[in-house]
Amino acid sequence: MTKTPAVLTIAGTDSSGGAGVSADLKTFASIGAHGTCAITSVTSQNTTGVISAFDMPPPIIMDQIDAVCTDMNVQYAKTGMLASAEIVSAVSRYVKKYNLVLVVDPVMAAEAGGELLTTDAMSVIRDELLPLCMVVTPNTNEASALSGIVIQDRNDAKHAAKIIADMGAVNVIITGGHLDASDVVYESKTDTFTVISGEFIEGGTHGSGCTYSAALTAYLAHGHSIVNSARYAKHFVEHAIRESVPIGSGVAPVNQVAHIRNNATRYEVLNETGRAVEILTECLSFANLVPEVSCNIAMAIPDASNVWDVAAVSGRIVKHKGKAVNVGCVEFGASSHVARIILAAMQFDNNVRASVNIKYSMEVLEICKKLNLTISSFDRADEPEKTSTMDWGVTHAIKEHGSVPDIISDAGGIGKEPMVRILGSCAQDVAKTAVKIAKELDKL
């Protein structure tokens, strides 16, 4: 098996980009598979529903499958919208022709609304396509239509799965988004059931069925077992729903590439913060700005919501033999103290994502003024009971200033060292500001 398997989706289009071939190709790419396609129907749809659909002539569909399979080593494929009996029959013949390992998503209706399957096509799916497939992935409504069982609980789903398997499907996965969020996996060869638990996720679900079956196909193509592929696919689609974007006026499409963007952003933040640490530790003068409690520099990902979205030095930056030394690696969740400063500031300005704390002195504040940095402060004596100092103090200083300043300071309190905090858009920027202050302080 190649590291990047070529996989095929045989499905319809979605002009709004949320479902069908669009969803499949984005999902394949996100999981490290090369996606190819054979378009069965062109739909005019958006987040509110399907307006119209044009079915491709079966010879054109077969030509597309031929074009891909004669050129590439395609072993795994999935089907989506197969609108007519003629299309189902044509696809069945070509699945058999190329001996494709097939995942069948028996698409009957669009998530946003609109029927996508004729009644006569349903019987051909049962008779011709299911006997060719490795796995079929109906939701509870589709499983009810295929099996004739009204699914109201997990036992009904298991009963329906066995009936569908008797039609020829080797494995049946009844997805639980319309029931209790758990997926029921039935492996007919071993007559075993596996229940993959889940949770109802807030977010848009347009394209969720397509995304799940495409993810399942990609994981199978990478060599995972049916149960593990089902587990990974469920996790993938849950994350895609959670990260959905309300881009239209109807059901929001799932976001298949969110985890790639998030991972890339986290990697960039780690690198940015690491370079900022180097800027600080390579400056001999900066050691004079390291507080008694040491210092830390941190940076958050965009739209950070908790300390685990903020990268910082795990062991802080300390003064050792006259030098500033980092005694740990840059990691997410390493500093709740500086993270809370950033998270509080981001409530007012989402572009302020970095901070470093340095030693407090009147000389430092005068240098900040000389460098034309905006300054605000808070008094720990005014802090209300049962509040976090950083949450309250930073919020108070920002409100007093009218916007997020470059510098937030406090003169300390009983058992609390006074501190200056530099804020900015990225870790390197705040590090460079700290170095400027250190060099100016060195001149005094």
Residues 185 and 282 in one domain: no
What's the whole-model pTM score? 0.81
Residue 24: CATH number of its domain: 3.40.1190.20
- The reported pLDDT for the residue numbered 198 is 85
pLDDT tens-digit map of 302-351: 989 999 999 999 999 999 999 999 999 999 999 999 999 999 999 999 99
* Residue where a domain stops, chosen among 235, 255, 275: 255
Residues 321 and 397 in one domain: yes
Residue 348 lies in a domain: yes
pLDDT tens-digit map of 229-259: 999 999 999 999 999 988 889 999 999 998 8
Identity of the residue numbered 135? V
The total domain count for the chain is: 2
Residue 87 lies in a domain: yes
Residues 246 and 287 in one domain: no
Q: How far apart are CA 219 and CA 223, in angstroms?
A: 7
Q: What is the mean pLDDT of the chain?
A: 93
Q: How far apart are CA 107 and CA 196, in angstroms?
A: 22
> Is the confidence at residue 220, as pLDDT, over 90?
yes
pLDDT tens-digit map of 157-205: 999 999 999 999 999 999 976 668 899 999 999 999 999 998 888 898 9
Q: How far apart are CA 57 and CA 62, in angstroms?
A: 9
Residues 249 and 268 in one domain: no
E strand residue ranges, 112-170: 135-136
Residue 1 lies in a domain: no
Q: How many CB atoms lie within 10 A of CB 318?
A: 18
> Is the confidence at residue 385, as pLDDT, over 90?
no
Give 297's strand partners. Answer: 356
Q: How far apart are CA 124 and CA 55, in angstroms?
A: 17
Domain that holds residue 235: 6-255
- The reported pLDDT for the residue numbered 1 is 44
pLDDT tens-digit map of 12-66: 999 999 999 999 999 999 999 999 999 999 999 999 988 999 999 999 999 999 9
Residues 298 and 374 in one domain: yes
Q: How far apart are CA 363 and CA 183, in angstroms?
A: 64
Residue 54 lies in a domain: yes
Residue 354: CATH number of its domain: 3.40.225.10
